[in-house]
Amino acid sequence: MEKLKVIIADDHPIVLLGVRELMERDERFEIVGEAVCSRDLVQLLETRHVDLIITDYNMPGSSPYGDGLKLVEYIKRNFPHPQILILTVISNSLILARLHELGVVGVIQKNQLHEEIQLALRAIAQKSAHRSHTSLIRSVPESNVAIDERISTLSPKEFEILRLFVSGKSVSDIARTQNRSSKTISAQKISAMRKLDVQSDLDLLTYCIGRNLFN
C-alpha cells in the first residue's frame, strides 16, 4: 500500500513532537516535511508532493500567507490536491463553519489531540472526512441558519459599523464619518462582535471577508 505523504506545521515543539510520534507509528502515512510557520509550510508545498497537511490554525510571524482562514484559503486556491487537517484551540462556530465550507478534512481541538487524531487519521486513510464530536459535528449542520440568525440581531448602526470596519476603516475613522465619539463606535462594535460570538478583530475580518458578508 502506498503511504500518504504528510507535512506537519505547528510552532509548538511539544505538539509537533506529539503528532510526529503518532504518525510514525502509523504505517499508512509518511512524514515528508515539518514547518513552524506558514512561510515554511508554503515553501514545502512548492517543492514536495503532499497528500495531507496537518497544521495549527494560529501560526506565528508576519508571513504574507498569514494563518487561520487566510492560510487555508491560500492553500486551497494554490495547492488543491492535499487534504487539510486543522489543529486549534478555537471553538467559535463561525470560524469552524467557514473551515468546513473551505473543505478541510477535519478540525481537532488541541486539548483532545490524542483522542481525536487517531480517529481523524483512520477516516483520512479511508478517504472520508473527520467530524470532531466537540466541534464541527455541533456547529456545521446549523451553521447557515445560526449565522443568519446572529446577523439578523445586529442593529442597523452595528451592521454599518462592521461594514466600515471590514472595509479597512479604523474605529476613529468610522467615528469621524459618523459624527460620533470613538468610545461610542467602539462600544457598538464590541456589542456587534458579542452578538456574532466573535472574540477578536482578526476572526471578525477573516470570517466576514471569507463569506462576502458585506459585498
At 111 the pLDDT is 77
User: pLDDT at position 144, please?
Assistant: 59
CB 192 within 8 A of CB 198: no
Long-range CB pairs of 139-146, under 8 A, 24+ apart, other chains included: 139/93, 139/96, 139/97, 139/100, 140/96, 140/97, 140/100, 143/93, 143/94, 143/96, 143/97, 143/100, 144/97, 146/93
Here the CATH number for the domain that contains residue 152 is 1.10.10.10
Domain ranges, residue 11: 4-139
Could you tell me if residue 215 is inside a domain? no
Q: Choose the final residue of a domain: 112, 139, 166.
A: 139
What values do phi and psi take at 198, rounded to 5? Answer: -110, 130
Q: Which of 139, 167, 197 is the last residue of a domain?
A: 139
> Which of 1-5, 6-10, 107-111, 201-205 shows the lowest mean pLDDT across its residues?
201-205
Classify 24 as helix, strand or coil. helix
My answer on whether 65 and 17 are in the same domain is: yes
Predicted pLDDT at 82: 95
Mean pLDDT of 162-185: 87
Domain boundary residue, one of 116, 139, 162: 139
| Same domain for 178 and 134 | no
pLDDT for the residue 211: 65
Which pLDDT belongs to residue 215?
A: 57
Do 186 and 171 form a contact (C-beta atoms < 8 A)? Answer: yes
pTM of the model: 0.66
Q: What is the CATH number for 39?
A: 3.40.50.2300
For residue 137, pLDDT over 50 is answered with no
88-126: pLDDT as tens digits: 877 667 677 788 888 999 898 887 887 788 888 888 888
Q: With the CA atoms of 120, 108, 144 and 210 taken in that order, what torsion angle do they form, in degrees rounded to the nearest 10?
A: -110
**How large is the greatest C-alpha to C-alpha distance in the chain, in angstroms?**
67
pLDDT of residue 140: 42
